Chain A
C-alpha cells in the first residue's frame, strides 16, 4: 500500500485544491484503495518550495510551477512561453486553454527529451500539466478598450512577458505579488491587473474591480507540472501503481484545466451580476495585440536560445503551432471534465510505458 503526501501552495477551496481532492479520490478508486493520497494545502510547502520539496521528499507529489526555477526548467518554461499563440486563434471558442494543455502535454511527454531531463535532474517524474484561462485587464475606475486608452496606465504584470506587453503599449508594467493586488487597486497604485477572471474570486478582486476588458493581454499561464512525483518513490513502486498514477495524471490535468475553464465562465457571469462593466477590446486593439504576439514570439525564441540556453528554441517554436492547431480540433466537442480526461488519456498519457517511464 502506497501512502503519498501531495503538497500544493493554494487554498483547499481553490480550483486546484478541488482538483487535488478529486485526483486523490479517483486514484484511490482505480487502485482499489492501494494508493492513498493526502493533500496538504499551503501548510507543507509554499509555491516556490514545492519543486525542491518534492525533490528532497518532503512531499511525495507536488503541484510545481516551473517559472520559479528558470535555470532548472528552461525548456519547460519555453513551452509555457508559447502560450501567446492562443491569442492568434482564428476563431476563438474559449476552449483554447484546453487545447493548449493537450498540446503541451503531448509535446512534453513525446517530443521534449530536454523537458524530461530537466525533471529528472530535479529528482521528479512528470505526470500531468494544466493551464489557466485567458488573461484579462481587471481595472478599477478605468475603461480600456483601445490602444490609446492603454497609454500611461499602471498595469500589474506577473512576468517578464507582461512587462514587455505593457511597454509596447506605452503603459507601465508593475511587478507586484498577486496577494497585494487588492490593496494596490483599491488605493489607486494600479489602474489594472493583468490576471485571469477566476482571480476575481480567488483574491476577492471583485470587490474593487469596476471594469474588465476580456482577452487583453490574452495568453494563459501554462508553466504548471500539476502532479510531479518524487523519483525515488516512483522507482520503488510497482508498474501497476505507476500505471495508475499516470492515469491519475490525466485526471488532475483535466481537473485543473476544466476547473479553471468553468471558473472563468462563472467569474465573468458573477462579475456581470455584481454590476462590473465587461468590455470586448476594439478591433484595432485586438489587431495590435496580435501584432505584439507575433513580434514577441520571435523575441522570446531568440532570448531563450541565446540567453537561457534552450538550443532547440527555434525548432520548438516552429513545431508547436501545428500541434496546437490539431488540439483545437480535438477539444472542439469536449463538454465536461470526464471527456477531457479521456481525451488526454487516449491521445497522450495512455501511450506512456509505465514500466520504463521515469527510470
Chain B
C-alpha cells in the first residue's frame, strides 16, 4: 500500500510545484507588463492570453490532487459532526467514493476535449503570430485525474483498513507551531 501512496503524493507534489512556480511567474509577468507599458511604453505581447489560458487554468486545476490529499476540499460539517462515529465513518466512505467517481468522469470528459484540441492544434492568433493553446487543456484531465486517483486510493485504504501512505504537504505556520491533522 504505502509505496503506491508515496508515488501518488510525489506526483501531486510535482503538479503543485508547477502550479506554485506558475503563480510566481504570473505575478512577475503581469508586473513586467505593467512596468513595460507604464515606464517603457512598450507593453508585452499577449499577456492576457498567457495569464488566463496558461497560468490561471494551471493554477486552478493542477493542485486539485494535493487539495484532496490534504483533505482541504471545502465541505459543510454542520450536520455530520453531531452524528455517531460509525455513521460519520460510513458517510466519509460514501463521500470519498462519490468524489472519486465524479472527478473521474470530469477527467475523462476534459481529457477527450484536450485530445480534440491537440488534434486540431488549437492556437490563438496574437500580434506576435500564433500562440499554441492546446497544451493548456491538458491541465484539467491531469488535475481532476489526480483528484480522482487520490480519492480512489483513500477508498481502497478505507476498505482494506490499511494506511494509505499519502502524506500531503504540511504547512508550517510561523506563529502557530503545530498543525492539527485535518478531518
Contacts and interface: CB of A to CB of B under 8 A. Distances in A.
Interface stretch (A174-182, A260-268, A344-352): A174-182
Which of A71, A176, A189 has the largest number of chain B CB atoms within 10 A?
Answer: A71
Interface residues of B, number: 21
Interface string B98-126: 00000000000000010000001111111
Task: Categorize the interface residue count of chain A.
Answer: 20 to 34
B37 interface: yes
A71 B47 contact: no
A177 B125 contact: no
Contacts of A308: 125, 130
B125 A160 contact: yes
Interface string A69-86: 111100001000000000
B129 interface: yes
B42 A69 contact: no
Given A71-B120, A308-B130, A177 B42 contact: no
Nearest to A160: B127
B14 interface: no
Q: Is the interface of B mostly helix, strand, loop or mixed?
A: mixed
Contacts, number: 51
Contact of B125 (A70, A72, A154, A174): A70
Contacts of B124: 70
A72 B120 contact: yes
Contact of A172 (B37, B47, B120, B130): B37
Interface of A: 52, 67, 69-72, 77, 152, 154, 157, 159-160, 163-164, 167, 172-177, 189, 303, 307-308
18 contacts: A52-B113, A70-B122, A70-B130, A71-B120, A72-B122, A152-B41, A157-B127, A160-B126, A163-B45, A167-B127, A172-B41, A172-B43, A173-B127, A174-B37, A175-B46, A175-B48, A175-B49, A303-B129
Given A71-B134, A189-B37, 10 more contacts: A70-B123, A71-B122, A160-B126, A163-B126, A163-B127, A172-B42, A175-B49, A176-B48, A307-B130, A308-B130
